[in-house]
Chains A and B, each alone.
Chain A
Amino acid sequence: MSIKIEHVSHLYGEGEAFEKKALNDVTMEIPDGQFLGVIGHTGSGKSTLIQHLNGLLKATSGTIYYNNEDIYQENYDMKKLRSKVGLVFQYPEHQLFEIDVFSDVCFGPKNLGLPQEEIEARAKEALEHVGLGPDFYKKSPFELSGGQKRRVAIAGILAMEPEVIVLDEPTAGLDPKGRDEILDLVAELHQVRKITVVLVSHSMEDVAKYVDRLIVMDDGKVRFDGTPREVFSHYKELEKLGLAAPQVTYVTHALKEKGWDIDTDATTVEEAKNAILKALKRPLKKTVSEKTDPGKGAAL
């Protein structure tokens, strides 16, 4: 079970003067149960890519397999695909429209044509999963805080019982605590419900903290693909792509330049703390004559 993207290209305005290749021959696989992070500057193709995952956009060329089935084949059940791959857009609260929280979460399963009992059971479960109890059921979505509205939007997707959930910058505009709460919630859904998660983010610190695998989009192509540690070790190239590494990665690299014998792969506060504490005890490397005596210098 997986999503396989094979040689997918997407042209906006094909054949027009403004033709733009938003995706350029992308091939990748998202295995079941992965927590995948997607980063890239604005206009790099991230959002175009994720809108292919549930068939909202159709590839100009190439194809996508969901659980080994070609989603572009004739008679493929797109509606079912959309219930299996849930997409949470940026500012999802703009898509809340029902009279109260409970009806809003029911909207998705209702459209799946499920019996009323099942719809309500699913909505209750989904709301419980995002930490909104019965007190919230009858509230208008507009009375809620920014973080709570996002929870409702995520519950609306969860009620469809998706196997994959794709989130496009779910924390934009939230305060730091709200940011942590939403991402902790996503991480918990990933662990408890074994949902595959695709997280698009502009926060390097957030992706470093949560994801198993990170891809970097640029100019419609996947430029880097690996663990956050692997990807962020290319921080100088990332900067040229309009990105950055987490702040702590810069600290360990700066210390290395000052001659410290330190592991520079740290991407979280915890990792950096341990690397620094370890390196403090080690002697400095000779920085000036590194070529003649690599790594063996005495403390300065």
Chain B
Amino acid sequence: MNIIKAVKLAYEYKRYGEDGQVEETLRAVDGVDLDVKKGDFVAILGHNGSGKSTLAKQINALLVPTEGTLYVDGMDTKDPEKVWDIRQSAGMVFQNPDNQIIGSVVDEDVGFGPENMGIPTKEIWERVEESLRSVGMWEYRHSSPNKLSGGQKQRVAIAGVVAMHPKCIVLDEPTAMLDPVGRKDVIRTVRALNMVEDVTVVLITHYMEEVIYADKVIVMDDGKVVMQGTPGEIFSQVDTLKKYRLDVPQVTLLAYELKKAGLDLPAGILSIEELVDNLCQLKSNM
């Protein structure tokens, strides 16, 4: 079954003038059809203002479609009775870790979600332990969140979502404010949740290197889905991506430039190992 299914989904932001009349409308999401299978790792790319975040907020029912329908785990997000169930099924992690952490101690912060769900105390603590271990932050359970690095805070925020046992996690640029190691730790955590716990992941990012592990990459432009495919398929189209104000991982760009210079390399190389192996093979055939 599809955990997320969008049919002709659209969202319009409206600006109202002083007299209450609509002065301007902006169609941020425009006719998106989308199917995300349970357990998939889907990455969404697109330039600033392409509609990615508006789409993400709809999955969490923070925004309700102005046209079309969005089903999350079989529930229509327009159904007001289902809002809390939807938010429990699809947890959300945002860009700035400082805006998401409310507890003064790490384990209390993580327990906040399950507590709100009315989970018995004993089970809350079990969930806190399990989710802090899954993001590798168990040893910091008694720390104050403001003593943590950005990457660590972001992993605590992820644990807070995991503790609610969601089927799906939507991450909206979770690494934009982090240093390289913080970035790597967060992405590794997300991949582990996806592979080990089978949590469906929707990752929005501007860092192309973070996308190479996804099952499927979706490129948005002007509110529409303009490209869809595996990372290899997407990143082999360097020029098309540039047209959409995007980029490819640096190693993919290097392979592309080498190919242009006459080397016989396959299109859409994604990792350092892949490029090194291909180059070594080329060399041994010389």
Contact = CB atoms under 8 A, between A and B. Distances in A.
Q: Do A and B come from one complex?
A: yes
A43 B273 CA distance: 32
B246 A242 contact: no
Interface string B141-174: 0000000011100000000000000000000010
* Size range of the chain A interface in the assembly: 35 or more
Given A178-B245, A258-B280, A273-B261, A202 B254 contact: no
Nearest to A242: B181
Given A251-B254, A273-B254, A175 B245 contact: yes
A220 B253 CA distance: 35
B25 to A, nearest CB: 14
A146 B254 contact: no
Contacts of A175: 46-48, 50, 206, 245-246
Nearest to A208: B250
Contacts of A176: 47, 206, 208, 245-247
A178 B50 CA distance: 13
Interface stretch (A64-72, A104-112, A276-284): A276-284
Main SS of the interface on chain B? Answer: helix
A172 B48 CA distance: 12
A243 interface: yes
A173 B150 contact: no
A42 interface: yes
A174 to B, nearest CB: 6
A243 B179 contact: yes
A255 B275 CA distance: 10
A248 interface: yes
Contacts of B184: 244
Interface residues of B, number: 45
Nearest to A40: B179
Given A247-B209, A273-B261, A146 B179 contact: no
B272 A250 contact: yes
B275 to A, nearest CB: 6
Contacts of B95: 173
A242 B176 contact: no
Nearest to B49: A145
A7 interface: no
A42 B48 contact: no
Nearest to B151: A42
Most buried by B among A175, A177, A260, A272: A175
